[in-house]
Amino acid sequence: MSMKFITKVLAKVRVRYLVILGSLLILAGLFIGSHLFLQLIEDKNSQPFISASQLSEIDKTSAAKANKPVVSGTPDHITIPSVNISIPVDLGVYDKKSQTWSLSLTDAEYATVTPQPNNIGGNTFIYGHNRWAVFYKLLNISPGGEAIVSTTNNHSFTYKLIAEKVTNPNDLSVFSYKGKPILTLQTCSGLFYQNRQFFIFSLVSYT
């Protein structure tokens, strides 16, 4: 076998190797680019959609009707064991001028105009980005999954998932709730993060 023939074969192998490597690099670039593009869309579209004036408030007469002391507190941490979520909860503030809510890349947000976690009634609303560090894994939760919210005054509220709802950014129906205490978690879903997905939990215990 001549040296010339071997050199020619090696050259062909090298070309094929470079073509394969180049193709893999292009595919990797496309994947990363599309992920970043979708993440930008998610950042833009994931603002909670309801104004402060439209959010439900706890019924002030419920405590008297229930004939028991109120246990409540400002949430500062949420744990969802079945999907391995354990993250801080910040105070979510609504900016009337820009008509946007505060959002974190790493933490969940408690909409401060909704009731605090409590043992009497109302709908506590906590929202967050569909990001791995926040609520991405929430989409995998099963019925009956627990969410545990701890508060700044050392109370703990355990909730059980009772319903899910995929809706559009203009759906306000979930906030018309009045009754026993519930927790609603929200994140975005859909190919372009165009949907709002609610996870509704009922209170099962508190300390």
- Each residue of 77-97: pLDDT tens digit? 999 999 999 999 999 987 888
109 lies in some domain: yes
Helix, strand or coil for residue 146?
strand
83 lies in some domain: yes
Task: Please tell me the predicted confidence (pLDDT) of residue 75.
Answer: 97
- Each residue of 103-113: pLDDT tens digit? 899 999 998 88
CATH code assigned at 52: 2.40.260.10
- Residue 2, phi then psi, degrees to nearest 5: -75, 155
Q: How does DSSP assign 86-115, residue by residue?
A: EEEEEEE-EETTTTEE---SSSEEEETTSP
- Separation of alpha carbons 111 and 94, rounded Å: 8
104 lies in some domain: yes
16 lies in some domain: no
